[in-house]
Structure 1
Amino acid sequence: MTTQAITRRSTIKDVAERAKVSLKTVSRVINNEPSVTQGTRARVTQAITELDYEPDPSARNLRNGLSFVIGLVYDNPNPYHIIAVQKGVLAACRETGYGLQIQPVDSTSPLLADELVDFVQRSRLAGLVLTAPMSERKDLIDTLAARGIALVRIIAATEDPNDGLPCVYVDDRNAAYEITEHLIQLGHQRIGFLWGGPQHRSSGERYTGYEQALKDYGITVDEQLAVPGDYTFDDGFRGARCLLALQEPPTAIFGSNDEIAAGVLAAAKSAGIDVPYELSIAGFEDSPFSRQSWPPLTTAKQATESIAKQAARLLIGGLRQHAHADKPTPLRNQGFVPQLVVRGSTAPLRLRPPAIPDNL
């Protein structure tokens, strides 16, 4: 019988011995306390890396009565977006020694506030990172704040709301304006717009940017060209079929995210429409859909992972201030602006030449 060796998980004591410091010093480095010299911090950090040591958040909670675990709450049909958010928050947790609990929820639940409070208490969480649409519900935010729950919101906004609650905000409106302007400058006058879920502020912000660009260029806003839906491939396909069936169909379609735009591309191909020369298509977010489609999609590059990482950092930074300062200083909110990425799905319009009769 072969005996298989069991790899023992490294402990904080192993780190202290490797770095030749006390357990207290290792703890101070892990908690990013300022009272450690640069040389000592470097030795401890190197030992942590060499031993692949990961602090146990639950043990730290029991030891000092503080929680070193945060929660991420989401309700979004786009799996690529959620994966990027999770990766960003997890990266911030790893660099600060915090644990992470992930909780999908039904954002329409009338008991959502109670459910989130129960989640925080049951999992002994220090705070929450809230994504849209929960992060944009003022009633929910006010209730959670009143119950003493630390939180950070990821929201769609053109500027810092300055409402006293921490957030990371994304300027969807100006990014959508830039996409629409790109299509207009290619010569498109009839530009369709496919909405994401109306419960997401980002969808309305993107429509506002689209509408403003049309008005600024003197193009009449045609309500027939804006189709409601959700942030899904299927709604992109259905919405495109509706637009392409119009008596005067659009020559370009702007989908509120890349998943919608990929559905538009599939609808165009099923109808034998040449993309981009008969129909230009643009998305939003720069997800794998935009890069894996053919032609690849013009989009707005939204640094979802970086946005989520900054939100987690903001939450953890605030928690540390409250734990170590009598009068914590509010941390500065940060904004992100998605950047236009032009790819092969958009081009100047080239209409098919009229068919030549056989008798000529």
Structure 2
Amino acid sequence: MAATIKSVADMAGVSIKTVSRVINKEGTVKPDTLKRVEDAIATLKYTPNKAARDLASKGASVLGYVYDNPNAYYIIDMQKGILDVCRKNNYELLIHPCDASSSNIAKELVSMVETAKLAGLILSPPLSEMPDVLSELDAKNINYVRILSGDAALSSNLPYVLVNDFKAAYDITQHLIQQGHTHIAFIAGEEIHKSTTERLNGYKAALKEANIELDESLIIKGTYSFETGVKSAEILLGMSPHPSAVFACNDEIAAGTLFGARMKGVDVPSDLAIAGFENSPFSRQTFPPLTTASQPTNEIAQHAAASLIQFLRARKTKLTADNLNYTFVPELVVRASTEKA
């Protein structure tokens, strides 16, 4: 993995800002600190992001997309959507993967914005849902747009894009109930993502409305990964009786669950119905293909980038920008993994 400015700072025992000063030859760094940073750069073979620095020096309009998400399909669709809007509006894009669990994540983002002279940030979960990070950005008057899970308007003057995971999860669970299932399991992703909580709450609401008693043993904690699906299938199919249906928090988990069921000789959907979420390629590449909720990630990304650019232009001209916020409700897509013969 290529070295980052953060890894240089960690090795040298200094802040990211100090590394930035050394890279930019600002001449305000003490000799011993300068040597430590230069040694770390040499050891790690770190190459500064020249493109971002050149853009900053030219005064170009640059946005930053910041993410920490293991779902490659999600990230690719996000990047494509943002880039499409940036190119149409003569903006450049700096893409910055990061570790949201880092204790210095807020300072890392502030340093990146200041070093590359970014006009604003596009934040996706979980960063967009972390109060400490948002507070630090607000304190530095950094502009950003958030993509996050929810079903209600937020008290903020900055633009946002909401994804109504609750309603989509409710629709998936209701579909399983309508198929005759009353013993339905739920496999969760990381709790740091609000989408996990929203999807779990939608599942619970559908059960409650159908007067189906909630069985906590059928709720499996996990991560948004194929491996979670495989392990969860082993747990759930070891129960007696095992559930007749599974709602997995995303398609990758659902695909892993399907694989685990096949390993146990369990037929899908006659012995176990499986539904996922997102409508990623995972849902279409399995056999049988997975019932899911179609989340238009590319479109969500386009709206987020367009809202931020519109907000920035309005602020520059001291005008009020309207209709900056959007809400998406992923739509139920029924496929063979839940259909009765």
Q: Could you report, residue by residue, the CA deviation over 1:82-121 in whole angstroms, capped at 9, with x for unpaired residues?
A: 1111111111111111111111111111111110011112
1:132 and 2:106 aligned = no
Report what 1:49 is aligned to: none
CA drift at 1:159: 2.1
Residue equivalent to 1:341: 333
Deviation for aligned residue 1:326: 2.6
Residue type of the alignment partner of 2:234: R
- Identify the residue that residue 179 of structure 1 maps to in structure 2: 172
Alignment of 1:9-158 (within 5 A): 62=57, 65=59, 67-158=60-151
Match status 1:322 vs 2:315 = yes
What root-mean-square deviation, in Å, do the aligned CA atoms of Structure 1 and Structure 2 show?
1.7
2: CA distance between counterparts of 1:256 and 1:244?
Answer: 18
Alpha-carbon distance between aligned partners in 1 of 2:264 and 2:310, rounded to the nearest angstrom: 52
Query: Superposition pairs for residues 251-290 of structure 1, below 5 Å?
Result: 251-290=244-283
Deviations 1:173-229 (A, max 9, x none): 000000000000000010010001100000000000000000100001000000000
Amino acid in structure 1 at the alignment position of 2:318 = D
Task: Please report how far the alpha carbon of residue 163 of structure 1 lies from its aligned counterpart in structure 2 after TM superposition.
Answer: 2.6
Cα pair 2:55 2:62 within 8 Å, conserved: no
Q: Residue type of the partner of 1:150?
A: N
Shift of 1:58: 7.8
| Larger radius of gyration between Structure 1 and Structure 2 | 1
Q: 1:206 aligns with which of 199, 203, 213?
A: 199
Aligned to 2:18: none
> What is the CA-CA distance between 1:139 and the residue it aligns to?
2.1
TM normalised by structure 2 equals 0.82
Picking from 188, 200, 204, the partner of 1:195 is 188
Q: State the shift of 1:277 in Å.
A: 0.7
| Residue identity in the other structure for 2:196 | S
SS in 2 for 1:115: helix
TM-score (norm 1): 0.78
Shift of 1:57: 9.3
- Matched ranges for 1:293-304 at <5 A: 293-304=286-297
Q: Which runs of 5+ in 1 are unaligned?
A: 1-55, 351-360
Kept in 2: contact 1:152–1:314 (CA 8 A): yes
The answer on whether the counterparts of 1:70 and 1:99 sit within 8 Å (CA) in structure 2 is yes
Taking the aligned partners of 2:242 and 2:305, their CA distance within structure 1 comes to 44
Report the alpha carbon displacement of residue 284 of structure 1 after superposing the two structures with TM. 0.2
Between the aligned partners of 1:213 and 1:233, the Cα distance in structure 2 is: 26
Give the gaps of 5 or more residues in structure 2: 1-50
Q: Distance in 1 between matches of 2:183 and 2:56?
A: 58
What SS class does the counterpart of residue 208 from structure 2 fall into?
helix
The one-letter amino acid paired with 1:128 is: L
Identical amino acids, percent of aligned pairs: 47
Contact 2:106/2:132 (CA < 8 Å) preserved in 1? no
- Deviation beyond 6 Å, 4+ runs, structure 1: 56-60
Question: Once structures 1 and 2 are overlaid, which stretch shifts more, 243-252 or 213-222?
Answer: 243-252
8 Å CA contact 1:166–1:331 kept in 2: the answer is no
Count matched residues. 291
Cα distance in structure 2, aligned partners of 1:60 and 1:227: 47
What is the DSSP-based 3-state SS (H/G/I as helix, E as strand, rest coil) of the residue aligned with 1:160? coil
Whether contact under 8 Å (1:57, 1:97) holds in the other structure is no
Q: Secondary structure at the match of 2:147?
A: strand
In structure 1, C-alpha distance between the alignment counterparts of 2:53 and 2:151, rounded to whole Å: 38
Deviation at 1:132, TM superposition (A): 0.3
Report deviation, 1:321. 1.4
How far 1:347 moved relative to its partner?
2.3
Other-structure match for 2:156: 163
Deviations 1:119-138 (A, max 9, x none): 11222211100000010112
Report which stretch shifted further, 133-142 or 255-264: 133-142
Is the partner of 2:103 in helix, strand or coil?
coil
